[in-house]
């Protein structure tokens, strides 16, 4: 076997970092995965690995420099064919452990140390080598494309009933996106396959669309239910009657019971967010607020002055 320094193309005074850098470059160049069926590349890779097993290990390097072991890793004067040893040219042992020259390489990991079982931090690290090969292997492996992020603001009605919106991506492309019925403020919609192009035949990435729902002037949402504060006149509260209520898709009529007071809550069943995704339709909850005229009303003033009724609305507060 040749001098390991010559195999790696470094001087005997090279630092550990320089030796490791040289090995990584040569191993990447001659790795069998990038030269399928090339016996010469495989043999060269074995030679590089065996050389690094010597000078890439601090203890072995010191013994080699002192002349205690040869380039094959055996003591000087030791004949591996005399029995009891191994033939490094057969590549049955070495930095990879297990396997012969004409078989796949196998790695033995020492999980407690985080490395290969055959060496310390200065020795061969297959994980580092694999990281270098990802680029070459990735060229042949199908990879999903990049995910893109985008944002869209929809009206309260659109969020409740669904629809389609045109979205402009960061690269200037415009796409039509389906807004699902019942989407919530802050929800992220995944549009599959419309992101970056896949590599090596892989699928396209996705678009992650974050939705902002604009507020409604009257309605608020809680799950699939809607809530509304509805002003009513003094007459409607006292005598009762039917009053219009703004709701999704147009106004609906609500029956106000006679003698209703501020804070009374009435329910319009099924008038919330429509059923979707296995969830039942929500309801519309209307909270009454008895409201006096904005401008002075002489008739109401005269009525109040002549009204003989007496009650204490603050009795419960005492």
**pLDDT averaged per 10 residues in sequence order, the chain, 318 residues:** 88 91 81 65 78 85 88 68 46 41 37 40 51 52 87 90 84 85 91 86 89 92 94 95 92 95 95 88 95 91 86 84
d(CA 184, CA 180): 10
Looking at the structure, give the CATH architecture of the domain made up of residues 148-213.
Answer: Sandwich (2.60)
What pLDDT, on a 0 to 100 scale, did the predictor assign at position 73?
74
Q: CATH 2.60.260.20 in the chain, residues?
A: 148-213, 220-317
d(CA 141, CA 45): 23
d(CA 184, CA 203): 28
Contact 44, 30 (CB under 8 A): yes
Contact 10, 24 (CB under 8 A): no
What pLDDT, on a 0 to 100 scale, did the predictor assign at position 131?
54
What pLDDT, on a 0 to 100 scale, did the predictor assign at position 242?
95
Looking at the structure, give the CATH architecture of the domain made up of residues 4-138.
Answer: Orthogonal Bundle (1.10)
Q: CATH 1.10.287.110 in the chain, residues?
A: 4-138
DSSP H helices, the chain, are 4-8, 16-30, 39-55, 58-65, 126-138, 156-161, 234-239, 298-306
Assign a CATH topology to domain 220-317. Answer: HSP40/DNAj peptide-binding domain (2.60.260)
What pLDDT, on a 0 to 100 scale, did the predictor assign at position 236?
95
């Amino acid at each position: 076997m040749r001098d390991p320094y010559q195999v790696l193309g470094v001087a005997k005074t090279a630092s550990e970092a320089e030796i490791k850098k040289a090995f990584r470059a040569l191993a990447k160049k001659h790795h069998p995965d990038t030269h399928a069926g090339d016996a010469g590349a495989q043999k060269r890779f074995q030679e590089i690995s065996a050389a690094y097993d010597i000078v890439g290990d601090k203890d072995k390097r010191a013994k080699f420099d002192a002349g205690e072991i040869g380039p094959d890793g055996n003591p000087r004067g030791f004949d591996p064919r005399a029995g009891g040893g191994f033939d490094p040219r057969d590549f049955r042992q070495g930095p990879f452990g297990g396997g012969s020259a004409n078989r796949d390489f196998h790695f033995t990991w020492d999980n407690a140390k985080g490395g290969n079982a055959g060496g310390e931090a200065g020795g061969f690290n297959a994980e580092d080598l694999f990281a270098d090969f990802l680029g070459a292997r990735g060229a042949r492996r199908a990879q999903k494309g990049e995910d893109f992020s985008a944002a869209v603001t929809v009206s309260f009605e659109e969020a409740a009933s669904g629809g389609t919106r045109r979205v402009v991506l960061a690269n200037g492309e415009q796409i039509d996106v389906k807004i699902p019925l019942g989407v919530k403020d802050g929800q992220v919609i995944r549009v599959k396959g419309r992101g970056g192009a896949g590599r090596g035949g892989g699928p396209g990435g996705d678009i992650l669309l974050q939705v902002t729902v604009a507020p409604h002037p009257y309605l608020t949402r809680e799950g699939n239910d809607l809530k509304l504060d509805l002003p009513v006149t003094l007459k409607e509260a006292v005598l009762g009657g039917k009053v219009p209520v703004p709701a999704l898709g147009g106004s609906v009529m609500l029956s106000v019971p006679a003698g209703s007071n501020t804070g009374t809550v009435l329910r319009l069943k099924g008038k919330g967010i429509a059923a979707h995704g296995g969830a039942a339709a929500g309801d519309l909850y209307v909270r009454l607020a008895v409201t006096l005229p904005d401008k002075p009303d002489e008739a109401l003033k005269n009525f109040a002055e002549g009204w003989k009724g007496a009650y204490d609305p603050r009795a419960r507060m005492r």
